[in-house]
Amino acid sequence: MRAMTEFETVIGLEVHCELSTKTKIFCGCSTKFGAAPNSQVCPVCLGLPGTLPVMNAEALERAILVGLAVGCTIRRRFKFDRKHYYYPDLPKNFQISQYDLPLAHDGRVDLAGAHPVRVKRVHLEEDAGKLVHEGAGQQIATGTAALVDYNRSGMPLLEIVSEPDLREPAEAVAYVKSLQTLVRYLHVSDGNMEEGSLRCDANISVRPKGADELGAKIEIKNMNSFKSIEHALTFEARRQRDALARGETLAQETRLWDDTAGETRSMRSKEAAHDYRYFPEPDLLVFTMDDARLAVIRGRLPELPWTKRLRYVQTLGLTDYDAGVLTSDRTVAEYFEATIAAGAPPKTACNWVSTELLGALHGRKLGIGDSRVAPRQLAALIALIDKATISGKIAKTVFAEMLVSGADPDAVVKAKGLVQITDEDALVTSVRDVLAANPQSVADFKAGKSQTIGFLVGQVMKATGGKANPQAVNKILKEELTR
Amino acid sequence: MMKSPASLTIHEAAAALRAKTLSSVELTKAVFERIRAVEPQVHAYLHLTEEDALAQAAASDRRRAAEESRGPLDGVPIALKDNLCTRGVPTTCASKILERFVPPYDATVVTRLRAAGAVITGKTNLDEFAFGSSTENSAFGPSRNPWDLDRVPGGSSGGSAAAVAADEAIAALGSDTGGSIRQPAALCGLAGLKPTYGRVSRYGLIAFASSLDQIGPLAKDVEDCAILEEAIEGWDAADSTSVRLEGPSVTQASAGDIQGLRIGIAKEWLGTGLDPEVRAAVDGARVPLEKLGCTFREISLPLQDYALPIYYLVAPAEASSNLARFDGVKYGRREDGANIVEMYKKSRSAGFGPETKRRIILGTYVLSAGYYDAYYLKALKARTRLRQDYLDALKECDALLSPATPTPAFRIGEKADDPLQMYLSDIYTVSVNLVGLPALVVPCGFSAAGLPIGMQLIGRAFDDATLLRVGARYQNVTDWHRRKPPLPDSGEGGV
């Protein structure tokens, strides 16, 4: 029997992220998504003859901010280059990008529960327009006309290139998700895969486990969702393994993921690869970044998601899972932090935010920013439980009311008369009434069926409309029964 | 016969307009009369904007009547090279691929000229995309030298030079990538200035080689060059390579004397290939300059011989990139094809002329993988060293003096089939673009055949004013610039 060779998948990702600056990278056109075709264009982003690019300073700062956040070294002198290829969506038939001197290089992203992923480079470039195919199937092969929408042309685009450090499709997805969280934390991009503001190409190869050399690098394009990244990479890894197992050799090529067919297809071979004829963009000067300006940009860095997650575990005592839920979205984390700043204990606040609040909001397809309950109000509600003014169960009723009306918890409790009864004298009467009405249960308890007490507590709670303090009821019941 | 207003310089016209002995409408009409008379022979223009010009002139006269005149250019007819974008007016670069292109915006220099009140006469002929030294590469036929209609006016701004020399405009703007203002100025007996790179915004100039291109004036004398440069120069938010200028204006700074100025002449400039008549004329210019207080010294520019090879690597490389956008997709000429690649090929094959194709092929080649280091990168390194040579020379000199061209105007067709001979006509001018310095061409004599000869003054970065000062003082004591070409229909008569 032939020994099965064990294979290892090696994945590197190029993540493209459209920066959500107000205006495009080289002109004053709006970057708003979803406008009528060619309504956000000007001579510059249409590449009309005689026009020149002028760098959007905010786009540059955001690019550097991302570079800093992934731990890159920021180059003190960097330039832009022209990358040439002919395509109708590229108005100048060259893209202004960065070739040998990207603005940031050599960083890393620490994935939770996995090894770190090295970031090779981060660079800034302009996006191209979009082709729209008219006619049958709206496909290039069957369409009757190709139309171009240049609204996207000249949108600032950040490219984050990883080293081939990923080993599993799931890891690749986790990496892209952490970059998505990051750019949203930094408020530099919507990071929206459906709208194309976050896009991803992968380089994937397979090699015998333990080998040092990489296999033939195959680039996969057209993965438009997290699901398609996972499916495409899983498909491709299996395809490559199968080919190698059959004794075939793989050649460097670019392949396109077809989401509907669920397979990758060859797009062009290495021989057909473009010669981009990069050369320095003469219309932009070399950029210099001094310490003072870098310090200002660094000052814009918030606490990063992975730092926050670690802090929640180490200093606040949350589980890694809970910390992950709270830090996956900066607004959620900020809400949580505001809640504990208003006095709520971290663990309780975590439960309320991640279960009650997010659950309720998700059900209504709302974001945390839409919550009518302010962190201060949630903290006040938690305080009412801790002071035993209301029970945890009643608190959920109060919270539901707060979500609708935005009222303070005190006001809801007062208006609905929900204050918990902890006064033992008041409770003794209710307990005695319940015992008198349930002689069989009393007999069972005395015969040794101690679990009967649960039923009796429930009866008292029912009789008091849920307002009785369960611990107090328990205590009084035991006293009365053992008397 | 009274001197036609069309023959005036900017400053003469401005004086007459100020004195109200002449109106802008009269001046503009005189220019268009002159155009009607001589344009069939000269072919300086590709497009005339007479109706709009007369409206602008009338508006200028109204401003003057209301005492709201805007300065020396207000009401003065100026021609524009047809690679400067003009809103609503065809801008073709003398190429079939842009035959029907009408820009939706004005170049910054055009905006500034309009703001100064200038009257735009039309768009002048050039070598296609400014690739050439004779206008013979124009897709719409060559312009002719008003001094000898069988000869070229130079290029690529040959139409602008011919128009000004033939009094079809009071002055004109051209663009200069390797001598395209200065060489035609020399061949047509005009003053022409290539400003320091970064001094004039390139926004709206259809790019040839972005790191070399600069817009500048072609005028009847140096004083006019200063007036035009002052109007168009200065920082522009739309051009990242434009520079904020400090200090006095060029017209102020070019007003003083030139006592004690040190002028260098490189021995490398006076070697083989230089026409004896040109050499004698440039040499002759030293006498009046010395009388004005200048001293001369011999300098050396060891890399001078490499300037042309460097230029013909850098300029086509940038040009091949800049011209990639002309593909038939969005504007300009489109030829149908079975697929997109075929459409590109057919449109570009039909739209571009032979010299344009030659430069695109050359530029594409030198930027290709495997050749970049050997050609383009090496050229960039040599360019840096060439610049150092010039900077060193200008440490001990205030300006440099050279011939503008190796010969006077050559005959139409004489070099058309020999690109290398054609390229050599820019031997004295290309290095100035490579090193980014300012240079001024001034007429300094005539050949025995009656053709103008020009000399070139090269200055320090952003010290354009010193060149204008030297040129203006020289013109105070010489009259080469006052001669008019012997055009058959000229009201003035000949030399």
Q: Can you give the CATH number for the domain in which B120 is found?
A: 3.90.1300.10
Q: List chain A residues with CB under 8 Å of B327.
A: 86, 88, 93
CA nearest neighbour of A31 among A62, A77, A67, A64: A62
Q: Are A66 and A58 in contact (CB under 8 A)?
A: no
User: What's residue B492's pLDDT?
Assistant: 44
- CB atoms B324 and A92 under 8 Å: yes
- First-residue to last-residue Cα distance in chain B: 16
For helices A424-437 and A470-481, angle between their N-to-C axes, nearest 10 degrees: 60
Our count of domains for chain B comes to 1
Work out whether the CA dihedral A115, A120, A126, A130 comes out positive or negative. Answer: negative
Q: Is residue B345 part of a domain?
A: no
Residue A317 lies in a domain: yes
Residues contacting residue A148 through CB under 8 Å, at least 6 positions apart: A88, A89, A129, A130, A131, A132, B329
- H-assigned helices in B117-221: 158-165, 182-188
Q: What is the SS3 string spanning A278-319? A: CEECCCCCCEECCHHHHHHHHCCCCCCHHHHHHHHHHCCCCC
> What is the spatial distance between Cα B367 and Cα A278, in angstroms, rounded to a whole number?
7
Interface test with A, best of B327, B342, B352, B366 (most A CBs within 10 A): B327
Q: Which residues of A have a CB under 8 Å from any CB of B? A: 43, 46-55, 82, 84, 86, 88, 91-94, 146, 148, 275, 277-279, 282-285
Return the number of CB contacts < 8 Å for A and B.
96
Which residue in B144, B85, B94 sits closest to B120, CA to CA? B85
**Does a structural domain hold residue B51?**
yes
Q: How many residues does chain A have?
A: 483
Give the nearest partner residue to B324 out of A46, A55, A94, using CB atoms: A94
Interface test with chain B among A277, A284, A285, by most B beta carbons within 10 Å: A277
Distance from CA of A284 to the nearest CA of B (A): 6
Q: How far is B205 from chain A (nearest CA, A)?
A: 5
Nearest CA to A87 out of A52, A41, A128, A134 is that of: A128
Asked whether residue A258 falls in the same domain as residue A316, the answer is no
SS3 A72: coil
The predicted model gives A52-63 an average pLDDT of: 98
Q: State which of A272, A294, A316 marks the end of a domain.
A: A294
Cα–Cα separations (whole angstroms), residue A444 to A221, A440, A447, A450, B117: 71, 6, 5, 8, 109
By the 8 A CB rule, do B261 and B472 touch? no
List the CATH number of the domain containing A449: 1.10.10.410
Chain B nearest CA to A119, separation (Å) = 26
Q: What does the pLDDT look like over A227-275, one tens digit per residue?
A: 999 999 999 999 999 999 899 999 999 999 999 999 999 998 877 778 9
CB contact under 8 A, A277 and B364: yes
Q: What Rg, from alpha-carbon coordinates, does chain A have?
A: 30
Question: CA–CA separation, A102 vs A160, rounded Å?
Answer: 10
The answer to whether the Cβ–Cβ distance between B240 and A52 falls below 8 Å is yes
Residue from the list B103, B324, B330 with its beta carbon closest to the beta carbon of A50: B103
Helix axes A375-386, A392-405, angle to 10 degrees: 160
Q: Tell if the CB–CB gap between B239 and A54 is shorter than 8 Å.
A: yes
Q: In what order do the strands lie in the sheet with B439-446?
A: B45-48, B119-124, B77-81, B171-176, B214-219, B191-194, B439-446, B452-459, B399-403, B262-266, B295-299
A391, amino acid identity: S
pLDDT of residue A138: 65
Q: Of B204, B201, B210, B156, nearest to B322 (Cα)? A: B210
Do residues A117 and A240 both lie within one domain? yes
Is-contact B4 B492, C-beta < 8 A?
yes
Output the DSSP codes for A334-360. HHHHHHHHTT--HHHHHHIIIIIIHHH
Distance of alpha carbon A164 from alpha carbon A180, whole angstroms: 19
**Residue B264, both tokens:** 């260098």
Please identify, among A361, A379, A407, the residue that sits at the C-terminal boundary of a domain: A407
The domain total for chain A is 3
Which DSSP symbol is given to B373?
I
Residue A2 domain-assigned?
A: no
Domain that holds residue A191: 7-294
DSSP state letters, B397-415: -SEEEEES-SSSPPBTTSS
How far is residue B73's CA from residue B443's CA, in Å, rounded to a whole number?
23
Per residue, the 3-state secondary structure of B45-111, as one string, reads: EEEECHHHHHHHHHHHHHHHHCCCCCCCCCCCEEEEECCECECCECCCCCCHHHCCCCCCCCCHHHH
**From CA B5, how far away is CA B413, in angstroms rounded?**
34
Between these two residues, B366 and A439, which has the higher pLDDT value? Answer: B366
| A88 in Cβ contact with A131 (< 8 Å) | yes
B377 within a domain of the structure (yes/no): no
- Is residue A433 assigned to a domain? yes
∠ CA B95-B96-B98, nearest 5°, is 75
- Considering the domain architecture, whether residues A157 and A219 belong to the same structural domain is answered as yes
**In the beta sheet, which residues pair with residue A266?**
A255
Per-residue pLDDT, A268: 87
The answer to the question of residue B371 being in a domain is no
What is the model's pLDDT at position A139? 67
- Going by the DSSP 8-state scheme, the letter that residue B14 receives in this structure is H
Question: What pLDDT, on the 0 to 100 scale, is given for residue B342?
Answer: 95
In a domain, B349, yes or no: no
DSSP per position, A417-467 = T---B--HHHHHHHHHHHHHH-HHHHHHHHTT-TTHHHHHHHHHHHHTTT-
Among A140-149, B121-130, B228-237, the least confident range: A140-149
Whether A198 is covered by a domain: the verdict is yes
Pair A251, A397 in one domain = no
| Whether A308 and A288 share a structural domain | no
CB–CB of B240 and A54 under 8 A? Answer: yes
**Residue A328 domain flag:** yes
Contact check, Cβ <8 Å, B211/A282: yes
Does residue A308 have a pLDDT over 60? Answer: yes
Q: What is the mean pLDDT of residues B353-368?
A: 97
Q: What strands, in cross-sheet order, belong to the sheet with A94-97?
A: A94-97, A81-84, A279-280
B396 versus A427: the higher-pLDDT residue is B396
Residues A210 and A333 placed together within one structural domain of the fold = no
Instruction: Pick the residue of B215, B322, B347 with the most A CBs within 10 A to test the interface with A by mutation.
Output: B322
Residue A419 in any domain: the answer is: no
**Which chain B residues are closer than 8 Å to A284 by Cβ?**
240
pLDDT, mean of residues B465-472:
98
Q: What is the structure's pLDDT at B493?
A: 39
Answer yes or no: is B489 within a domain: no
Cβ–Cβ below 8 Å for B202 and A53:
no
Q: Does B494 have pLDDT greater than 60?
A: no
- The pLDDT score that the predictor gives to residue A412 is 87
- φ/ψ (deg, to 5) at B11: -70, -30
A136 and A205 in a common domain: yes
- Token pair 């023959």 is found at B7
Report if residue A418 sits inside a domain. Answer: no
Domain-embedded: residue B375: no
- The two three-digit tokens of residue B227, written as one number: 């007036």
- Whether residues A312 and A361 share a domain: the answer is yes
- Of chain B, the percentage scoring pLDDT greater than 90 comes to 92
Which residues on chain B place their C-beta less than 8 Å from a C-beta of chain A? 83-85, 91, 93, 98, 101, 103-105, 107, 202-207, 209-211, 237-241, 317-318, 321, 324-327, 329-331, 340-341, 344, 364, 367-369, 372, 376
Task: Name the residue among B107, B324, B326 with its Cβ closest to that of A50.
Answer: B107
- Which token pair is A295? 């310090």
Average pLDDT along chain A? 91
ipTM of the complex: 0.95
Tokens 């069939």: give the residue.
B40
Residues A179, A310, single domain; the answer is no
Burial of A363 (0-12, 13-18, 19+ CB in 10 A): exposed
Instruction: Report the pLDDT averaged over residues B250-276.
Output: 92
Q: Are B408 and B453 spatial neighbours (Cβ–Cβ below 8 Å)?
A: yes
Query: What confidence score (pLDDT) does residue A3 get?
Result: 53
A41/A160 same-domain check: yes
Structure-model confidence comparison of residues A360 and A393, the more confident one: A360
For an interface test with B, the pick among A25, A52, A100 (most B C-beta atoms closer than 10 Å) comes out as A52
Spatial separation of the C-alpha atoms in residues A218 and A251, rounded to whole Å: 8
Residue B321 is nearest to which of A50, A52, A94, comparing CB atoms?
A: A94
CA angle A54, A59, A61 (to 5 degrees): 115
CA angle B183, B256, B20 (to 5 degrees): 80
Beta strands in B361-489 (DSSP E): 399-403, 439-446, 452-459
Put simply, the answer to whether A50 touches B329 (Cβ < 8 Å) is no
Residues A318, A275 share a domain: no
Report the Cα A115 to chain-centroid distance in Å: 19
Among A43, A93, A282, select the one facing B324 at the smallest CB separation: A93
Shared-domain flag, residues A191 and A335: no
Active site residues of B: 81, 156, 180
Would you call B325 and A275 a contact, using CB atoms and an 8 Å cutoff?
Answer: no
Q: What percent of chain A has pLDDT over 90?
A: 69
Q: Answer yes or no: do A50 and B98 touch at CB < 8 A.
A: no
Chain A residues with CB-CB distance to B103 below 8 A: 43, 48-50
Of A294, A322, A347, which residue is a domain's last? A294
| In a domain? residue A467 | yes
Give the pLDDT confidence of B142-193 residue by residue, as tens digits: 999 999 999 999 999 999 999 999 999 999 999 999 999 999 999 999 999 9
- In chain A the first and final C-alpha atoms are separated, in Å, by 80
